[in-house]
Amino acid sequence: MPVKKTPPGYGSLGKAIGKSMDLTEFGQDPNMSIIDDKLMMAAMKVAIGQELTQRQMECLAMYFGERLTLKEIGLRLGIGKSTVYKHIETGKAKIRQVLMYALAFKRAMEEDDS
C-alpha cells in the first residue's frame, strides 16, 4: 500500500485551516485576510470544543490529521462516505463561522484603537 504524503502544513486541522487563514473566499476584505495566530487558535479551540459534534471531530481528525479518504473514514466508523462528507463539510462550516466572528472581533478592536 503506498504511503500517503502529507502536504506541508497539513498535520492537523489547525494546520490544515492554516495559521494564516485567507478569508477572501468567504467575502472578506483581502486586506483583513489574516487572523492573528493567537486569536485564530483561540477561535479554533472554541469551534472544536463547543461547536462540533463528536462525529464531526472524529471525521475531521481522520481526514486532516491522518489524511484518510472519505471511504476509509466511513469504513472505520461504520458509516457511508456521503455521511462522512457531510460531517466534514458541516464541521468546516462551523469552524469558518467561529473564525469569521474572530475576524469581526479583531476588526472591532482595531477600530477602537484608531
pLDDT of 54: 94
Mean pLDDT of 32-51: 71
Mean pLDDT of 54-68: 93
**pLDDT at position 62 over 90:** yes
**pLDDT at position 24 over 60:** no
| Dist CA 90 CA 84 (whole Å) | 10
Residues 13, 17, 23, CA angle at the centre, nearest 5°?
155
| Dist CA 108 CA 13 (whole Å) | 27
pLDDT of 111: 82
In the structure, what pLDDT confidence band is assigned to residue 112 with cuts at 50, 70 and 90?
A: confident
CB 16 within 8 Å of CB 8:
no
pLDDT of 9: 35
Look up residue 3 and give its DSSP letter. P
The pTM of this model reads 0.65
Going from the N-terminus, what domains does the chain have, and what CATH number goes with each? 36-113 (1.10.10.10)
